[in-house]
Every structure is written in structure tokens, then in C-alpha cells.
Chain A
Amino acid sequence: AQSVSQHNHHVILSEAASLELGCNYSYGGTVNLFWYVQYPGQHLQLLLKYFSGDPLVKGIKGFEAEFIKSKFSFNLRKPSVQWSDTAEYFCAAGPRGTYKYIFGTGTRLKVLA
């Protein structure tokens, strides 16, 4: 069955620390990949997406993600986090041509000022 795994459920970092959130998916074909962020009390917002092309994807607010096909991974990174990055982060995946995306369980990031 298709699934998306996010390895870290809770992450606590100090400001200026580097961030990497893991995401692995289980699907053998061509996939669309997303990272969404949900700030407290707000809706999910798209951080970045990968459909095809350059596997290193730049998103908003200084985030980036790298698609590594051989590892079925799409890890999210940010070189230096800020207090305002405190939020919950969701990875999502689905086969090309789909509308039905599978979401990971989310990672709650807390950044200490």
C-alpha cells in the first residue's frame, strides 16, 4: 500500500540551527511530492512541490527539498531556522496524474528564541 513516512514527530531547535525533516514515500512509479506547513491556528500552506525536473526544489521562506529517487525520499531543509518557523510540517505524495495525495503524520517543529 502507498504510504508516506515522516520520521520525526517532534523537533525542537534553537534559532539559527539548521533543519532537516525526513520524508519517505512508498510508490514505485512517477510521483508528485509536496511539503505543506501549518502555522498555529492557520490553514495548510504549500511550502514547495516537485513534479519533475531539477530534484532540488526551492520553496518559500528559505525552505528547500531534495528529491532522491533511489531513496524514495523528499527531505525538507532550511539552513537557519527562525522562531517564526514554529509550525507543523506535512509531507505528501501521490502518483503522477492523481488527485489523491497521501499525507505523512506531520512533524511539529518548535524553534526556541
Chain B
Amino acid sequence: NAGVMQNPRHLVRRRGQEARLRCSPVKGHSHVYWYRQLPEEGLKFMVYLQKENIIDESGMPKERFSAEFPKEGPSILRIQQVVRGDSAAYFCASSPSGSDTEAFFGQGTRLTVV
């Protein structure tokens, strides 16, 4: 019963480096969402993807952040030239359809920028 798998669980990067966060959705789910949780805040929507398509990236910072969900392989959230303010927990979720359904979450990746 494989749920949403995220790796790595913890990632430490120096300022200016790149961070790559991976997410494998529940088998059969083609809808993937990324959320970010800053300290003492709730989860904030970043981006919604279906296979090979970005549906909604309205919650993603305009610069340095990108996401993809290729035909084969996991979804990737990429943060270029990380800054201290990027330190957060990044959660991936998947669902079998795109609306009116629950999302299944991964354990998250905790990114620390030093």
C-alpha cells in the first residue's frame, strides 16, 4: 500500500545551491500538488500538476522555483539559488481526480538553508 513518497526527508543546502525535491504519487493518481509550510504557518498551495502539464502555479514564487511532473518518473520541485527564507517543509499530495476529492499527502521534505 504505497502512499505518496517524498525524498529526501531532510535536505540541507548552502545559500546559492539548488534544491531538488521528489514526489512519487499514489499509484494511479495523475494529479499532484505541492504545498509549503513555513514555521508557525499553515500549508500554502504552490502548484498543481497533471502528467506533463502545469495546471495552476499561482502559489509558486515567480523566480527560482519550478515544478514538473513528467510522463515517467516522479514530480520534481526545483528551487534554484536557495536563500534562507526557502527553509520550510515542502509537502506533496496526490489525488485520483482534480476536484472534490481528498488529497493524499507525503511525509514532506524539510529543507534547511544554511
User: Residues of B contacting A101 with CB < 8 Å?
Assistant: 45, 103
Contact present for B4 and A99 (CB under 8 Å): no
Write the chain B residue with the least CB distance to A98. Answer: B99
Partner among A42, A43, A51 whose Cβ is within 8 Å of the Cβ of B100 = A51
Contact present for B4 and A43 (CB under 8 Å): yes
Q: How far is the CA of A85 from the CA of B22 in the complex (A)?
A: 30
Report B89 CB to chain A, min CB distance, Å: 10
Instruction: Decide if B90 is an interface residue (CB 8 Å cutoff).
Output: no
Partner among B3, B44, B100 whose Cβ is within 8 Å of the Cβ of A97 = B100
Question: How extensive is the interface on chain A, given as a class?
Answer: 20 to 34
Instruction: Decide if A74 is an interface residue (CB 8 Å cutoff).
Output: no
B residues contacting the other copy or chain, number (CB 8 A): 29
Q: How far is the CA of A41 from the CA of B59 in the complex (A)?
A: 26
Contact present for B3 and A43 (CB under 8 Å): yes
Against A, the Cβ 8 Å flags (1 = close, 0 = not) of B88-114 are 000101010011101111111000000
Contact present for A43 and B102 (CB under 8 Å): no
Q: How far is the CA of A102 from the CA of B105 in the complex (A)?
A: 14
Against B, the Cβ 8 Å flags (1 = close, 0 = not) of A26-48 are 00000010101000011111100
Residue of B42, B98, B103 contacting most chain A CB atoms (<10 Å): B42
Chain A residues within 8 Å of B, Cβ to Cβ: 4, 6, 32, 34, 36, 41-46, 49, 51, 90, 92, 96-106
16 cross-chain CB contacts under 8 A: A4-B42, A43-B3, A43-B105, A46-B104, A49-B102, A92-B43, A99-B33, A99-B48, A99-B95, A99-B98, A100-B48, A101-B45, A102-B42, A103-B35, A103-B43, A103-B44
Inter-chain pairs besides A96-B100, A99-B99, A102-B42, 16 sampled, C-beta below 8 Å:
A43-B105, A43-B106, A43-B107, A44-B91, A44-B93, A46-B102, A51-B100, A97-B100, A99-B95, A99-B98, A100-B59, A101-B45, A103-B42, A103-B43, A104-B42, A105-B40
